[in-house]
Amino acid sequence: MTNNTPHIIKNDPWYGSYASRAEDMRASEIRALFAVASRPEVVSLAGGMPYLDFLPFDELSELVAKMLREEGSHAWQYGSAQGNAHLRERILDIVRLEHITDAQADDVVITNGSQNGLDLITRLMCDPGDVIIAEDPNYVGALGVFKSFQAEVINAHMDADGLIPESFEESIKYAIAQGKRVKFLYTVPTFHNPAGVTMSIERRTRILEIARKYHVLVVEDNPYGLLSFDNKTYPALRSMDPDNVVYLSSFSKIIAPGMRVAWMIAPPGIRQKLVLANESSILSPSNMSQMTISTYLDNFDWKKQIEEYRGMYKSRCETMDQALRTYMPYCSWNKPQGGFYIWLKIPEGLDAKAMLPRAITARVAYVSGTAFYDTGEGADHMRLSFCYPTEERIVEGIRRLSTVVDEELAT
Ligand code: PMP
């Protein structure tokens, strides 16, 4: 580590004192972009923020006020490290939609967002140098966690049907041949962030077989699974192999990221350790947040709300797809069946990372594909989010982006 490394504050009096695992910590490309991208004149196709204006805030605020009057001394008190029992019961109704029918409330652990869950499972499983197999490209927030525990990420490739089983197996063999311990596969099987693709059912079966063969745990990160555009929900990997999968999902994309409430479902041994890790990390997840979420689930038709979101995100996705056809037909992209993201391949020779400042000047923001790799790859892609801007803004954003790309192509 050198004192002129850009992510280190100049003349930091603690320079030299940090633990080795803190050396490589830095703001993700997305965080660095956040301030600029949230300026109102910029059409942000960058963030993965859900659109919340459909939520019944007026009625909800009255119900939350009532909850506080009646149960305030519970809501504002410390709680259980595993999370609120009532909420864990309610979560079982949600995961049933993804075919998880055997889980009990006791199998569920509440976390402060899935990000916290990723931190917990990595802390439990990985010593420095241990290997995590992850899809290529990979959710940027997970990369940050893996790095902070000094785990080594080995990529496995995807195509339009998600993670390729042969590539997964090759990555395991490669790690073993180097004398490394493979601790888990990290996968976002459904409506992938950033790639937008979904693992087919046949591949789910095959991936689980391979994981079992090599005694590799599967960490299934599934915040988008309910946000399908054709009302189809995929069976969670957890539903197909309960003993070998740790499942994470979250209220962030279906209700409210600001509440920071998510959950994990894990086999008993791992679940017990997760609770202990939660306790040592945060004592207990916020009762106030959990009870606010329960108030919502108990009083509103959350399934109908999710259906409404599906329709809205589908329509925004179609608008983006159409705008890309109109303005940037020389690019290629997947058309997702759910989730928030289009993974756009830009013409050869262009560099999405280098182009970003010019895009910001043209008042449009995206995330360069390089954010989703640890290796500097990905400059030939950008992630475009259609979740937050209105359809009108999406069209305008793509139009602005096309002017930047066109100019690049002309030079
Ligand atoms: N996993 C994936 C794949 C995500 O896209 C996100 C949020 N962008 C998270 C985990 C974290 O979600 P949260 O902490 O809000 O639950």
Tens of pLDDT, residue by residue over 246-268, are 999 999 999 999 999 999 999 99
CA–centroid distance, 296 to ligand 1, in Å, is 21
pLDDT of residue 3: 44
**CB of 250 closer than 8 Å to CB of 109:** no
Query: How far is the C-alpha of 160 from the C-alpha of 347, rounded, in Å?
Result: 19
Q: What is the pTM of this model?
A: 0.95
The CA-atom distances, in angstroms, between 123 and each of 16, 184, 280 are 24, 12, 12
Determine which residue's CA is closest to atom 12 belonging to ligand 1. Answer: 114
Tens of pLDDT, residue by residue over 371-392, are 999 888 999 999 999 999 999 9
CA–centroid distance, 223 to ligand 1, in Å, is 6
Q: Which of 118, 191, 252, 313 to mutate to test the pocket of ligand 1 (most atoms within 8 A of CB)?
A: 252
pLDDT of residue 7: 58
Query: How far is the C-alpha of 98 from the C-alpha of 272, rounded, in Å?
Result: 24
Under the banding of pLDDT at 50, 70 and 90, the label for residue 411 is confident
**ipTM given for this complex:** 0.99
Under the banding of pLDDT at 50, 70 and 90, the label for residue 44 is very high
pLDDT of residue 231: 86
Section 92-121 average pLDDT: 97
Determine which residue's CA is closest to atom 5 belonging to ligand 1. Answer: 193
- Burial level of 213, CB count in 10 A (0-12/13-18/19+)? exposed
**Ligand 1 neighbours by CB, cut-off 6 Å:** 48, 113-115, 139, 141, 188, 193, 221, 223, 250, 252, 257, 262
Q: Which of 135, 193, 199, 261 to mutate to test the pocket of ligand 1 (most atoms within 8 A of CB)?
A: 193
Q: What are phi and psi of 252, to 5 degrees?
A: -60, -45
CA–centroid distance, 177 to ligand 1, in Å, is 32
**CB of 172 closer than 8 Å to CB of 214:** yes
Under the banding of pLDDT at 50, 70 and 90, the label for residue 16 is confident
pLDDT of residue 33: 73
pLDDT of residue 25: 78
28-32, 153-157, 230-234, 264-268: the lowest-pLDDT one: 28-32
> What's the whole-number average pLDDT of the chain?
94
CA–centroid distance, 327 to ligand 1, in Å, is 30
